[in-house]
A and B are shown apart, each in its own frame.
Chain A
Amino acid sequence: MGTVQTGTPMADLTGLPALMQLADGRFPTGGHAHSGGFEAAAQREGINDLPAMEEFLIGRLRTTGLVAAAFTAAACQYFHQAMAADQGASLLDRLAPLGRELDARTPSPVLRTVSRRLGRQLIRTGRVVWPHQGLDRLASVPGQGVHQPVGLGAVAAAAGQPPAHAAVAAAQESIAGPATAAVRLLGLDPFAVNAVVARLGAEVVRVASEATGPADGPASALPASAGYLLDVSAEFHATWEVRLFAS
């Protein structure tokens, strides 16, 4: 465990409550209805114990988790830049390439729809929780809404978070959702599941720092790590007549 700095000035902590709220599974973004591909993987690949769940979480974290964290960090960065440059007038133009690049990295139409639904919900919630004219601009975009990582990055920025924090929230979320689903689907011991998630904390931070590196550059340079079975399984899962989770 790291050194506890009891003398940390309170100023350094001001962003923490907002970050914790944003990363809390109970933050109303609709994410609870999704298993991050776990329901499909559990059935198709026969995941039925903790070690197999942990493998799945690592695989997801290092592929779609890394991509989500990178796009969240970039959206957060672009949001701050647009505010600094012209009070957000250029925000939509700056964020547009992130949407196109995420479409290209989300080949499953099922998962593209899920991502945009969650993104729209995030903006709706974020506008009430951390009112910000930048979020108002995003909410005014006609169509299906922004992708989930773009929404998360924007809301994190509106909540005063730097890109690195937004990336940690995204990376953490990429495993926390499926882990919660694992408890519900497989009846795994919630204490033990949380111990796995805690153990993956160091990996979450590694992924988040890798994700934050390119946030300054163009969207095309962001990671494109793919979870091939996640995509294929999502397409099959969407055709099931009975399922506990929407994805």
Chain B
Amino acid sequence: MRAHAKLGVRLRPGAQDTPRSHVSRLRSHGPLVLRPTGERLPGWLSRWGADPVDGVTVRLAAGAAGPLGGDHWRLDVEVGDGAALQLGAVSASLVLPGAHAARSLSETTISVGADAMLVWSPAAQIAAAGCRHAGLSRIDLAPGARLCAREEVVIGRYGEEPGDFAQRLRVTRSGEALYDQELAVGAASAGWNSPAVVADRKALGSIVVVDPATTNLDLFTAAVSPDVPDTAVMRLAPDAVLITSLAPDMISLRHRLSTTFAGFAATR
């Protein structure tokens, strides 16, 4: 199934001429169902000067199972200058094989305008046995843009080896690379379960935070608590931090990521 969904968020003068973010374009397509939820933004966004009611929250709901082998899903998102968007998912997605061993592909392309902010948290992708999937998320930031991108992968359901699954996250600033890493697991990627890649861990997650106010990022203490194993906080650039964590399962992964993010998320 081929699907191409689009989302646009822009600033528009609201009551008393205060500019507010609003959805300027919303095109769901097939399995990619976009649902504005009217949620408040997470409290920690006040660190970025965001009024919790002024941002837009949209969640992806699954209009069909999958992605399945043979699917090609595309989501294009534009966050206008100064606007705030939280884009998440209603639930995790289970990446499954198709009937004919064809590959599946999910592409997400997001551009974040000047001084805009994006919270990207598409929930976990679960790589089921036999899947043949490639996912690519591209996020480009204009000057002054802020980003919190959190991606999580579950490597096979319980007691199961994953199919051939790859997920690449590429973050650029005005087109220049800031972060570009691809996870590849499954039989086609020999050595994926070695101590160089993920060994016996069943869940992998990363959070990329870009904040032009670099002192905010100093709140991530470089030394991760020993209670949070297999987790590192890495400075990508003066204004960008990465948290990488591996865990035996989804629940402990979430706990590890959230505990490590907590220092930053604690509002002043």
Q: Using a CB–CB distance below 8 Å, which chain A residues touch chain B?
A: 37, 41, 44-45, 47, 52, 55-64, 100-101, 103-105, 107-109, 203, 220, 223-233, 235-236, 239
Contact = CB atoms under 8 A, between A and B. Distances in A.
Among B177, B183, B195, residue most surrounded by chain A Cβ atoms (within 10 Å): B195
Interface in B207-266: 223, 230-232, 234-237, 242, 244-246
Nearest to B236: A107
A106 to B, nearest CB: 9
A56 B193 CA distance: 9
Contact of B191 (A63, A228, A233, A235): A63
Nearest to B182: A224
Contacts of B201: 229
A45 to B, nearest CB: 4
A105 B180 contact: yes
Contacts of A239: 223
B182 A236 contact: no
A224 B182 CA distance: 5
B232 A236 contact: yes
B232 A63 contact: no
Q: Which of B176, B194, B204, B232 has the most CB of A within 10 A?
A: B194
B37 interface: no
Contacts of B176: 100
23 contacts: A55-B191, A56-B194, A59-B193, A60-B194, A60-B196, A63-B196, A100-B176, A103-B177, A103-B237, A104-B177, A104-B236, A107-B234, A107-B242, A107-B244, A220-B177, A223-B182, A229-B230, A229-B246, A231-B244, A232-B245, A233-B195, A235-B232, A235-B234
Contact of B244 (A223, A225, A228): A228
Nearest to A109: B235
B35 interface: no
Contact of A105 (B181, B184, B231): B181
Given A64-B196, A230-B196, 9 more contacts: A37-B196, A41-B196, A59-B190, A104-B177, A104-B178, A226-B183, A229-B199, A229-B230, A235-B232
B246 A232 contact: yes
Interface of B: 168, 170-171, 176-184, 189-199, 201, 204, 223, 230-232, 234-237, 242, 244-246
Given A63-B196, A231-B244, A224 B180 contact: yes
A233 B201 CA distance: 14
A41 B191 contact: no
Given A104-B178, A226-B181, A231-B232, A62 B191 contact: yes
B232 A59 contact: no
A227 B197 contact: yes
A58 B196 CA distance: 8
A56 B179 contact: no
B189 A109 contact: no
A239 B199 CA distance: 22
Contact of B194 (A44, A55, A224, A232): A55
Nearest to B183: A226
B237 to A, nearest CB: 8
B196 A56 contact: yes
Contacts of A107: 179, 181, 234, 236, 242, 244
Residue among A60, A220, A228 with the highest chain B CB neighbour number at 10 A:
A228
